Structure 1
Amino acid sequence: MAWFRSFCTAAVVPLLYGMEVGATSNVLKAFQSMTEHGISSWETNLTGIKLSAVACAALIGAIPGTLAAIKIADRLGRKKELVAAALFLVIGSVLSSLAESFNSFVLGRALFGVGEGIGMHAALLYTGEIVPARWRGICGGSIEVVWVVGMFLTNLLGMMTKNSWSESYLSLVVVSIPFLAACFILPESPRWIILSRGSEGLAEAASTFRKLGSPEQESTDACNNILDSLQIDEEKGEASRKNEDGSQKALVVGIVLVLFQQLTGQPTILYHMGEIFYRAGVGQGGPVAVTAVKMIATVVRCKSRLLAEPRP
């Protein structure tokens, strides 16, 4: 199951995303606690606008990251896109964890957000293109499970380290650096190889499928299925996606659902969760309990998806 190792590498992106949400929740709580205890440093006595900037800096960075990924993804390839994301994640996490001023801290958060935007785009595409059809549903569902696990881990770390916030962001450094190294040895997506090179990439794509663990006949069939889903320009040897009304309708439905989720304020609640529970007098155990319940619910949903018949 060589494809599973590649999937696990790509799944580090949502893990880091979840860890960043939990880490920021810890940070906002720690800043509030330090202010109340009269500690004098750049982290204390921040205005409401500055605290909001801390919370949303990564989301703001994710916007240009996502837009850039949409624009250049098919030119770069999934592997290079993951490498680019990992570079931003490493730089952003290092800058955030070692920040000695508000501006450098927010800049680090924004750069990390750029990596999140690029990385989530690449990870989802890469997962869909290298995972066999029979496992695609469970692996796609596992992406959200991994995200919640990351959030749970950094909330748990925040409970153990109490008012110290830098450890939460150092945990992102510890994970993102090995992730960057692993991205360099990932195989390229066979589908992207055919999409970028047309019929000339068939042999390399089939070879990549075999390296990912697919038998020879299955590799050939997979390449043929990819060709059937593309329009080939025989003169240029290039390929482009066919327009499918069903896929476009599904995309619109998905965008509306995600937009509704974002407009309800879920990201804001998760970022401010530590601060909310702290002000309510519950302590760090509150965020840990909430993320634990969320993790269990997500695993149950993922299991039900596993029982459903996968679609090719």
Structure 2
Amino acid sequence: MTIKISETKNVPEYMPNKPKIFRELLATITVTLSVMSCGIHYSWPSPTLPKLLAKDSYIPINDAQGSWLAVTTLIFALFTAPLAADLVDRYGRKISTMLTIPLYLISWFCIGFGRVYYIILLGRCIAGIADGITYTAVLVYVGEIASCRIRGFLASFISVILLFSGLIVNSVGPFVSIQTMAFICAVVPLVQLILCIFLPESPYYLLMKEDTKAAKESLQYLRGGDSANITQELEDIKSAVKRQMSERGSYKDLVVQPGNFRALLICIGLRTSQQLSGISAVIFYSQIIFAANNEFISATTAVIIFNALQVITACFSSLILDRLGRKILYSLSSAGCAITLGATAIYFYLKQHNVNVSEYFWIPMVSLCSFIVTYNMGMSVIPVTMLSELFPTNVKSKALAVMDMYFSLIASLMTKLFQHLDSTYGMYVPFTLFACSCILGVVFGIVYLPETKNKTLEEIQMMLRRKTISRNSVDVKPVEVKKNQSDEDVSTYI
């Protein structure tokens, strides 16, 4: 018996032509507007907490209440993720994404009209429910609609949108009221509602439901060609879905199936090293961190520069991700984060122990900006990209739900840990912890991270399952990708 993998041929004829990636890009932008709403809520505490903690706040709160406002979305996303897995497989990727639109609208109305702490907290809770659905639905959708040559680019676009959201919040939020900001942010889900009119369902999902005609129409729309151009790709997807759906997809299969378990461990490793870099804490408390050392420029200006650098470097990273690959970018990114966080920790240590560092007031600003550049070159985009690549169709939604729960849990813990260590021991302690964790991220990237660039989703599954396939019964042919087409940089399409 021989397993044939689609790209053992030349690079498939169904690779998109240069003018024909627009619809894939439009579909990605449409669903990632949910990620934009999620990202706005994620960054919302940075400009908002200083206002609420101020003496003249219209809703006076203490530090503990502010901390709960910061992490509530993450906590509720943790409990919503299992529901999202069922929604995605039962009602589809498109419908699941659209369900987040009214939830985000209600959350912003609570924040905009709320005049007591608990109404704003309620809005954050509702946003957390939407966040739990967003990451599962969007990652599954983008991973399934994208052509393999630009899948890394489209998946990394999720991180770019997330960071762009932070730039908007920190550029506008400090200069308008909390209520005005809430109503501005409510525009995003309204725009998404209009764009969803043109959004096709994932062909993978339609084939799961045995609707071949609709799957063909969806794929034809996405690739922008006639039916003859997508025939081979449709047959390849149909074969992959049939094989993957023949294997029961449950939460248990994430552990008992060695290929799935390996993918799960890789994703846990990526998310752990990513969050142990302290990125969630740095984003939530960025204004407070810069306010602790504002001799150079104001905290507000520093945060705007900080977020602008995130967007620029993430855009650049998304363009080179499919050329350089995941492994090298993640390892280099982790190493850069370790160096920059270490420099920040040393500065705050010396300052706390009454060493005169007035001549070096620029170090926190430069170090943290360097941190965000190196972080977004790999640690930001690669975990999201590989989450959409590593799991087969039958368990993908469940795997992403588990990873969404894990992300929410570890991000909440890191945020609370930062606040505790900072208030108890000083700001240098959490930064020292984060720097040491990034060194472990380098080791993980070099030793354990697989390379998935230029591989189809089916090839990736064969790679992950290689230790579980009996060589006596199955002959897995090696995959050879012709460099003359698949190694093109996605930047040639833009």
Greater Rg by CA: 2
Choose from 89, 101, 104 the match for 1:86: 101
Query: What is the CA–CA distance in structure 2 between the aligned matches of 1:23 and 1:171, rounded to whole Å?
Result: 12
Query: What is the CA–CA distance in structure 1 between the aligned matches of 2:62 and 2:229, rounded to whole Å?
Result: 59
User: 1:156 aligns to what?
Assistant: 171
User: 1:180 aligns to what?
Assistant: 193
Deviates more, 1:223-232 or 1:125-134: 223-232
User: 2:343 aligns to what?
Assistant: none
User: 1:24 aligns to what?
Assistant: 45
User: 1:15 aligns to what?
Assistant: 36
SS at match of 1:187: coil
SS at match of 2:149: helix
Q: Post-superposition shift, 1:303?
A: 2.0
Residue 160 and residue 245 in structure 1: after superposition, are their counterparts in 2 closer, same or farther (change >3 A)? same
Counterparts of residues 269-308 of structure 1 (less than 5 Å): 269-281=282-294, 282-308=298-324
Amino acid at match of 1:154: V
User: 2:128 aligns to what?
Assistant: 113
Q: Give the total of aligned pairs.
A: 297
Q: Is the Cα–Cα contact under 8 Å of residues 29 and 278 in structure 1 kept in the other structure?
A: no
Choose from 215, 222, 228 the match for 2:239: 228
Query: What is the CA–CA distance in structure 2 between the aligned matches of 1:257 and 1:170, rounded to whole Å?
Result: 35
Query: What is the CA–CA distance in structure 2 between the aligned matches of 1:56 and 1:239, rounded to whole Å?
Result: 40
Amino acid at match of 1:54: L
Q: Is the Cα–Cα contact under 8 Å of residues 190 and 206 in structure 1 kept in the other structure?
A: yes
Q: Is the Cα–Cα contact under 8 Å of residues 73 and 128 in structure 2 kept in the other structure?
A: yes
Residue 6 and residue 107 in structure 1: after superposition, are their counterparts in 2 closer, same or farther (change >3 A)? same
1:311 corresponds to 2:455 = yes
Unaligned stretches of 5+ in structure 2? 1-21, 325-452, 457-494
Q: Is the Cα–Cα contact under 8 Å of residues 274 and 287 in structure 1 kept in the other structure?
A: yes
TM-score, normalisation: structure 1: 0.86
SS at match of 1:183: helix
Query: What is the CA–CA distance in structure 2 between the aligned matches of 1:155 and 1:182, rounded to whole Å?
Result: 26
Query: What is the CA–CA distance in structure 2 between the aligned matches of 1:67 and 1:286, rounded to whole Å?
Result: 38
Query: What is the CA–CA distance in structure 1 between the aligned matches of 2:203 and 2:79, rounded to whole Å?
Result: 27
1:30-54: CA deviation from partner (whole Å, max 9, x where unpaired): 123x31xxx263x22x122211111
Q: Is the Cα–Cα contact under 8 Å of residues 210 and 219 in structure 1 kept in the other structure?
A: yes
Percent sequence identity is 22
Query: What is the CA–CA distance in structure 2 between the aligned matches of 1:128 and 1:208, rounded to whole Å?
Result: 15
Counterparts of residues 108-257 of structure 1 (less than 5 Å): 108-161=123-176, 164-195=177-208, 197-198=209-210, 201-212=211-222, 213-231=224-242, 245-246=258-259, 248-257=261-270
Q: Is the Cα–Cα contact under 8 Å of residues 26 and 168 in structure 1 kept in the other structure?
A: no
Deviates more, 1:263-272 or 1:95-104: 263-272
Residue 215 and residue 259 in structure 1: after superposition, are their counterparts in 2 closer, same or farther (change >3 A)? farther
Query: What is the CA–CA distance in structure 1 between the aligned matches of 2:247 and 2:234, rounded to whole Å?
Result: 15
Query: What is the CA–CA distance in structure 1 between the aligned matches of 2:247 and 2:227, rounded to whole Å?
Result: 25
Query: What is the CA–CA distance in structure 1 between the aligned matches of 2:276 and 2:320, rounded to whole Å?
Result: 27
Q: RMSD value over aligned CA atoms?
A: 2.4
Unaligned stretches of 5+ in structure 1? none
